[in-house]
Each structure stands twice: as structure tokens, then as C-alpha cells.
A and B are shown apart, each in its own frame.
Chain A
Amino acid sequence: MSMSRRRVAITGIGVVAPGEPGTKAFWERITEGRTATRIVRSFDAAPFRSRLAAECEFDPAREGMSPQEVRRMDRSVQFAVTSAREALADSGVEAKDIPPDRTGVVMGTAVGCTLHLDEEYRVLSDGGRKWIVDPEYAPTHMYDYFVPSAMAAEVAWVAGAEGPVSCISTGCTSGIDSVGRACELIGDGIADVMVAGASDAPLSPITYACFDAIKATSNSNDDPDHALRPFDRSRNGFVLGEGGAALVLEDSERAARRGAHIYAEIAGFASRANAYHMTGLRADGQEMAEAIRAALTQARLPAEAIDYVNAHGTATRQNDRHETAAFKTALGHHAYQIPVSSIKAVVGHSLGGIGTIEVAACALAIEHGVIPPTANLNEQDPELDLDYTPLTAREKHMDVVLTVGSGFGGFQSAMLLARPGSWHA
């Protein structure tokens, strides 16, 4: 673990989150605590227990996509490509500045092209009537929807990447893990520039049926704005969201040499499994604590260096207890002294996509010295005893922030972001 690794800088950010697309709109929304949750508009959700969604006001044509791109790409891929384009433009990296073979891509997605798979199944099976589905009804680009790697391929084309490119899918930690994997490739000296991100567009009937079946989603259909209430005593689950984000990551020295703006550096990353249950969490939060400790060890930072924790915050009782316990175990008494918050009340839970959206939020928090609040947190659950930053944003100078994710399969991931100069690899 003592080998000298190259440091990794975030030099570009692109976000397609619920509400208007773009990083600026996203940051304004989460710091204002303006929730984007509402009754689903993209399909008729009347038959479902939870009829809520956090939807993106996304028009691919307005984002500059050609009709053929729109046909070829699932909505999740459109988010990925749009956020990658914004991140690349923001970074000022130009294709001519970087050798293609030193540029790579890692994209993450939890459920890939679910929207298209659901819709095409409905057609090929004629509404579920045929087990032997009709292949002649399959659209030309069916295979691009079938294999989620199409997302990484499309982003690689945008970035002109010819180095390591891959797509990963670790459920709801995909968006932290993709950024972490990209950092490893730069840290190991295999690439100099990486576009890393994640995207999901899961708002389809099959997804609603799944989450209805396990009652993980909120059924506060009569109050959509306040449906997702992390750490609140009245919480009753999350609201499905859609969206994605992409980051341009560079070898820090290279970024500094070219005079790039550096939002933050990625100081540590680790993932662990609970080996317990595909959807359940141990109340003691031990494996998330272990991931946090491993990330701190990698960054050679003490727990006391952390200034803010961006929580997973899915507003299920087991999640809230699990991560609260994890923060206490990993950070000790320091956990009580720093603000924790979740942006999910505002932008919903976009499965794999949200991980990178939250990494972007952390980078912006360091940049602006502002902690986005936990919206909808009016009455804190008495069994939770940390400072969850209710309702209003706070100004604070931050050097080091922690973001965590937790997902089906038992996966737990932790990532540390740090202001350049505030830590030493």
C-alpha cells in the first residue's frame, strides 16, 4: 500500500439530474433544497403502489443530439453522453492535447437500458402473450440496449478515448465505483485522462413493479414534494429517480501544468461487501465502516480530517441506521462533530447514476464552501443522533469530504475528495 501513486484531479463536471440538465442548475437546486420529486409523468403509474419519480427535464435535441443518436441511444446513454460532453467542455481538455491511447473511460450503470428492454419486450412478446417472442419485431439497435457496455462505448467516442474503456455495474454503488476504478487507472500510470461517470434511466413499469414488491419506495403519493425524507422519523422509503453525471479526471500534475481548474482531488476509494443479504443491511454498518477506513488509509488521512459526509440517505429505516452506525464506527467521536447530509430528497435515487451525481455534489461543495442540506428533514428520527443538516444549506470551508454508497448485492463504497494542497498522497 505504500507505493507512490499519482494523484487524481477532477477538472471537469457534467450533470444531468432531475430538474433542468446541467451542473449549474443541479447545484442551485440541491443547495436551495428545491425537490424535483413528483407524480410520474413519463408513463401511467396508476397501477403502482409508489407513483412518484424524480424526472429529468431532458430534451436530447436541445442537448445537440442528432435524430440518429437519439434512436441509437437509450435514455440512460443519452444522459451519459450529455454529461460527458459538459464535463469535457468544462475541463478545457481538448482532444488534440491528449494522446488517445492515454485517455480512457469507465462508466457505471445499475440497470442499463431498462427503459428500452421493458418497452421492446412488450412489443416482441405482444404484451406478454408470447414466450417465444418474435425476433422480427426487434429494432435495429436492440443489441445496443441488450449490452450495457454501449454506454461506455458512446462516451469513449465522444472523448476520443482509445485507452482502457470499460463499463461496470455494481448496482447502486456503480457511480462511486466507476470513478474509483478510473482513479486507479490514472494512479497506476495506465492512463493520464479518464472520463468517468454513471447513468441510469430506470423509470419504467418493470422497475416500479420491482420496488413495489419489496416496498423500498415511498408511497407518499399525496405529497410528492415531501415524499423522500432521509433521517426523518416519518420517512417511508425513497423515490425513484433518473440521471447521471460524468467527471473528467486527470493526473494532478498534468492538470496543474496545463493550468486547469481543479475542483478537488480524489484522495481515497474502497468498496466492501456485507456478505449478508442481497437487499438487507446489517444494522451495525461494519462493512461500510471498513470501506471508509480503507479509503482513509489510502489517503493517509485521519478520520478527524473529514469536514463533511455526503450520505447515501435513501430514507429507509435500515439504511439510516446502517450508515449512521458506520459513520460512528469509522470516524468515532468525530462523526458527531461534522455535518452529514443527503441530496436524495431533492433528486431522488437514480440507482447507479446517483453515485457520480453525489461525487459531483461533493466536488462542488468544496469549490463553493457550501454544504447542500437534507431537504424534507423536519423531525429527526430519535434513534439517529448525528447532525444531518436539515432544510437549509450551510457555508463551511471544507478540505476533505466523504461520500458513501450502499446497494443491492450488499455492496458498500466510500470515496474521499480533498482540496488540492490539503493532503499528501
Chain B
Amino acid sequence: MKTVVTGLGVLAPNGVGTEAFWAATLGGASGIAPIARFDASGYPVRLAGELTDFDPAQHIPSRLMSQTDALTQMALAAADWALADAAIDAKRIDPFDMGVVTANSVGGFEFGQHELENLWARGPQYVSAYQCFAWFYAVNTGQISIRHGMRGPTGVVVSEQAGGLDAVGQARRHVRHGTRLLVTGGMEAPLCPWAVAAQIPNGRLSNSGDPARGYRPFDAEAAGYVIGEGGAILIVEEAAAAWERGAPRTYGEIAGYQATFDPRPGAGRPPRLAAAMRGALEDAELRTEDIDVVFADAVGVPELDLAEARAIVELFGRFGVPVTAPKTMTGRLNAGGAALDLALALLTLRDAVIPPTINTAVLAAGCDIDLVTTTRSAPVRNILIAARGYGGFNSAMVVRAAA
């Protein structure tokens, strides 16, 4: 039984909508810029990947606008686009045969900042009744299920960056157990002042003010990552069912998935990203030589880049497989970023062209990988995607061209 992706909805700092995002990415156009959302002049972090081409009011009913964070407005828009892309009319499908599994890491944080401000500056009675569900992590799954009348299996994963793949892995399991279709993916919107301030102490954010140099994974001068907002929503269904209903397109198959966890720091045991990658390959019944390109997690922190490069080398050999990190054009979007990588991998399958990694100029010592730095045409049948979540979460997924 094959689980395939039949619809995509994408919002990224360098392009809103699948084709705009794809064209920008192939063209090496970055969406990373100095923070413009608020006056960040007093912050040590100066860059972000902000959505600039998205007016949620154009897409979301006003009734929903007042009760949702930007996070949910983005997810609702992307879900609409993904369903339209897949030519799904949700009203014509049994509500219990459609499920929703999404990922995010921090919920609707800007909505939360407003309500915390109301609480502490004005008083409890000024806190919005919507706060109880507008900020919490489950909000996107709930709102998508309500908007489209989907009453089947639900899920919400909050395993930081890795969650973006974990959600799709869970969705695939529901399809395999008989649910007709799943709306899945990840979205993230952590760019209000309170969210940015909360991320700084993880010590992994770039302090650079230069958009062309701020986020350079695997580079000898890598010094952290740039945060950003956006993500992707996907429609997944069983291949034969998609064919039977005349789905307009199949982007590819979710062929393999595995999640692992790193040993406790200081335990003296090796990290487990390579094991996740190997598990995803086994799940897809593929060998390493079948993989045509790896979409890297690419944190941009030297020791983490080195660990990832070593995992890739362990499986594929030195310079043994093309590796790319188009997230250098968007920033690192946590759960949204892993879902965006998945969308990019599916578009890579479609068009047989590998999007580039920008900014990285000189590979760091030990990062012996074939990093794709200019758009590369190549026949592509199988792609491996890696995602690591802060704390030790590793996830890997394999997508395969539809037969």
C-alpha cells in the first residue's frame, strides 16, 4: 500500500504559494532580511525570514481572523491551497474518513503575547476568551478540521524541527490503516518580540546582520541559524484511491520514515541521526545508492553540521551523494521547515532539478559532502530528508517518484 502526496500548500519567506516558492528557490532568491516586524535594534539577533507577501485577510474569513494567531491563519490558507491543489471537495467525502495531523513548536505566540500583555498591564478581565485555544499547540489541527468538516483521526506533534516529518509519518500510518485522506504538515510563526527573545538563549542563533552571510550551514564560518516563519501543508492519500478519484497529480510517495533520539549529552555514545536515515531507507526498501539527493537538516552550528555531515558520510561515503539545504533562503522554520523541505523534495522529483544551498562558500573541515550550491539538473527518483529537533530528536523521511 503506497501513501502518496496529491496536494501542496506552501508559505515561505521567499515565496508564498507553491510555484512562487519553487521559482524563488530554484533562482537562489533569499527571503532572509533584517527583522522588520518590530524594532529589533536592541536585540542581538538581527535577521529573520519573514513572510512579506501574505495578507491573511485575503484568505481567512474575518470571524476567524479575530480568534486566530498568524500561525493558524497561515495554516488555514495553506490547507485551503493544498486541498484545491489536490482537487478535493471535502463536502463529498465521509467526514470520519478525513483526518488532520499537524506539527508546530510554539503555538500562536504573538496572540499569546497580546493576551499576556492584557493580563499583566490591564488585568485578568481584559484577556480574550479566544486565548484559551488561539495560542495552544493543537490550534491548527482543530481549526483545519472544523473549517473542512474533517472528523477522522487527529494528531499534533510538537517535537521542534523533527515534528514536521513526524506529523507526516503519523498521517501515513492513518492512511495505511484505512483513513481516506489526511491533511498534514507543519507551520511556524515565532517572530513576535517575545518569541524571538525566548529563542535567543538556545545559543544557536546567528548574530549576523548580513543576509548573505547570516546562515551558512556546513561553512567554515558557520555561526548559527536564522529564524523564520512559514511551512507547508500536504494532502496524503492511498495511491490507488487517489488514482480512482482522478486526482490531478501525484507529487510522490512517502516511502520511508524513521525517528530516533540521541543519547543524553555526556553519555559517550554516538548521535543517532544516521540510524534514523538508515531506518527510513529500510522502511522504503531502498539502498543508499538509490538515493539521488539528501535534504539536510543544516543547523548552521559547527558541531551540529559536522555531526550531520558525518552521518551522511557514514551512509553514503565522502562526497557520495548530492546534499542540499534550500532553507538557507528561508531561515530555519522548525516544524514548518521540515514540512517545507518535504514539499521541496516532492517538487524536485517532479521537475528533476535540485534546488541550491546559498551562502555557504567554503566547506568546514570534516564536512565532506557534495553540497549543491547552484541549481543542478539531474534525474531524481528517491530523496532522503533529515530533520533534527532541539534536545536530540532525529527524523528521516524518504520520498519516491510516483511510478
Contacts and interface: CB of A to CB of B under 8 A. Distances in A.
Interface of B: 38-40, 42-45, 67, 95-96, 99-100, 105-106, 112-113, 115-125, 127-129, 131-133, 136-139, 141-143, 145-146, 148-160, 162-163, 166, 170, 173, 177-178, 193-202, 258-264, 269, 272, 275, 389-393
Given A128-B119, A153-B392, A408 B157 contact: no
A394 interface: no
B2 to A, nearest CB: 16
A153 B390 CA distance: 9
Contacts of A171: 133, 136, 138, 142
A423 interface: no
A413 to B, nearest CB: 9
Nearest to A104: B261
Closest 9 CB pairs of A and B: A409-B142, A128-B121, A128-B120, A153-B391, A169-B137, A143-B202, A165-B261, A209-B127, A135-B197
Interface of A: 1, 47-48, 100-101, 104-105, 109-112, 117-118, 120-122, 124-125, 127-129, 131-135, 138-150, 152-153, 156-157, 160-171, 177, 181, 184, 188, 205-206, 208-214, 216, 270-279, 287, 290, 407-411
A105 to B, nearest CB: 7
B99, B116, B149, B272 interface centre (most CB from chain A within 10 Å):
B116
A152 B194 contact: no
Contact of A163 (B159, B162, B260): B260
A181 B152 contact: no
A121 B131 CA distance: 15
A162 B270 CA distance: 10
A166 B393 contact: yes
A258 to B, nearest CB: 23
B151 A409 contact: no
Contact of B116 (A164, A206, A274): A206
Contact of A149 (B148, B260, B263, B393): B393
Contacts of A408: 132-133, 136, 138, 142
A154 to B, nearest CB: 8
A272 B153 contact: yes
Given A131-B193, A166-B159, A47 B198 contact: no
Contacts of B149: 275
A125, A128, A146, A150 interface centre (most CB from chain B within 10 Å):
A146
Contacts of B139: 278, 409
Contacts of A169: 136-138, 156-158
Contacts of B260: 101, 162-165
Given A164-B260, A209-B131, A275-B95, A150 B391 contact: yes
A148 B101 CA distance: 17
B60 to A, nearest CB: 15
28 contacts: A117-B198, A128-B120, A135-B43, A135-B45, A146-B105, A149-B105, A149-B390, A152-B159, A162-B275, A163-B261, A165-B260, A166-B157, A167-B163, A168-B158, A169-B138, A170-B138, A170-B154, A171-B138, A171-B142, A205-B124, A206-B116, A209-B131, A210-B127, A210-B129, A275-B146, A410-B146, A411-B138, A411-B141
Contact of A278 (B137, B146, B155): B146
Contact of B259 (A139, A146, A166, A213): A166
Given A149-B105, A273-B142, A112 B163 contact: no
